[in-house]
Amino acid sequence: MNKDDKGFESKIKGMYSGGGCACQTGLLEKKKSSLKEVVCKNCGKIFKTDKDTDYCFRCRKQMKEVK
């Protein structure tokens, strides 16, 4: 094991001894969500979606039934 590996391991052990896990120590990068927050143009409900829409699921379903 080389000098860099020993330094990295001691850094990790130091972080874990504080009671935190790897997800809380900043070692793992958080993935940016592809969801965006949208306000429904029909009912005003705030929802998150990855689709390109301006209407919530319920309003889209009602619009399909009317057609």
Q: How many structural domains is the chain composed of? A: 2
Q: What is the pLDDT of residue 22?
A: 56
φ, ψ dihedrals at 37, nearest 5°? -90, 130
CA 43 to chain centre: 26
Please report the pLDDT score of residue 66 as a whole number.
84
pLDDT score, position 17: 61
Residues 16 and 37 in one domain: no
Q: Which domain holds residue 6?
A: 1-30
Based on the domain organization, do 49 and 65 belong to the same domain?
yes
Q: What's residue 11's pLDDT?
A: 72
Residues 41 and 51 in one domain: yes
User: Is there a single domain that holds both residue 26 and residue 36?
Assistant: no
For residues 22 and 26, what is the distance between their CA atoms, to the nearest angstrom? 7
pLDDT along the chain (67 residues), means of 10: 70 64 61 89 95 93 87
Asked whether the beta carbons of 56 and 43 are under 8 A apart, the reply is yes
Residues 3 and 25 in one domain: yes
